Amino acid sequence: MKRLIISVVLSCLPVTLITTQPAAAQFGFGGVVYDPANHAQNILTAVRTLQQINQQIQQLTHEIEMLENMARDLENLPDSIADDILRRMRRIDELMREAEGIGYGVEEIEREYEVIYPEDYGAEPPSQAVLVEEARARWRQSRTAYRESLIVTAEVVSTARADSENLDRLIGDSQSAAGNLQVLQAGNQIEALQTQQLMQIESMMASHYRAEALERARELAEAERGRARTRSFLGN
């Protein structure tokens, strides 16, 4: 009789109630349902998110490196010899401008050369005192020109050691340059240093040839002075 009653009661219960109890025992605990497929999907989503974050970090790292490289390319040299070069060239120019007597100006030479170094004294040469004074003036001119040539040469030679040190430093800067701008600046300064040295050589040559030209002109003028003195003596 009891078995019959139990069978009837079980037959009256819903099917879902009968099946829910095992499901809860298999996939849930304490009222929380566990879905393995959903859990796996969440793990895949987290992995993909981490991958995207890593890609973004790598991209930012590359951009930072690119900006750092650009900054190094735009970095200036720690020092420059431009001011030193300009100072030396101004000093040479000042020495050339301080030339006494006939200097380097074309108009000045055309105006004063024929006066100081006459081609001839004409039919009636000046007095002996005038001839002697003009000869002394020409001698002082030649002497001063040679002195100025030596000063210019000494100024150029005095900068040779500093030029060598600057060149060594610029070569070192170019070899250890942080970026393209430093390489370019070092190369430009080396070219400027070479240009300065060439200009100094030109200044030395100019002062030397000026002294030689004035001395040769003095010799020619002295020869004409001797002829004038002879004519004056014979005329008297």
Q: pLDDT by residue for the chain (236 residues), tens digit each?
A: 545 444 544 444 444 444 444 444 444 555 566 677 787 788 888 888 888 888 888 888 877 777 766 666 666 666 677 778 888 888 888 888 888 778 888 888 888 888 888 877 777 777 778 888 888 888 998 999 999 999 998 988 888 778 877 777 777 776 666 667 777 777 788 888 888 888 888 888 999 999 999 899 888 888 888 877 777 666 65
DSSP 8-class letter at 68:
H
Inter-CA distances, 137 with 147, 157, 161, 218, Å: 15, 30, 38, 10
DSSP 8-class letter at 27:
H
End-to-end Cα separation, the chain, in angstroms? 186
Q: Is 212 inside any structural domain?
A: yes
- Amino acid symbol at 235: G
**Cα 110–116–118 angle (5° rounding)?**
85
So what's the pLDDT on residue 212? 92
CA distance 39 to 44: 9
Residue 32: strand, helix, or coil: strand
Q: Is 15 inside any structural domain?
A: no
Q: Is 75 inside any structural domain?
A: no
CA distance 143 to 141: 6
So what's the pLDDT on residue 92? 87
Q: Is 177 inside any structural domain?
A: yes
- Amino acid symbol at 87: R
Number of domains in the chain: 1
Q: Is 27 inside any structural domain?
A: no
Q: Is 206 inside any structural domain?
A: yes
Residue with tokens 């969440």: 42
Segments forming the whole domain that contains residue 205: 82-235
pTM (2 d.p.): 0.58
So what's the pLDDT on residue 5? 44
Q: Which residues lie across from 28 on neighbouring strands?
A: 33
Inter-CA distances, 117 with 122, 126, 149, Å: 13, 14, 20
Residue with tokens 């431009």: 82
Ramachandran category for residue 30: left, alpha or beta (phi over 0 → left; psi -120 to 50 → alpha):
left
Residue with tokens 């000026």: 210
Q: Is 20 inside any structural domain?
A: no
Q: Is 13 inside any structural domain?
A: no
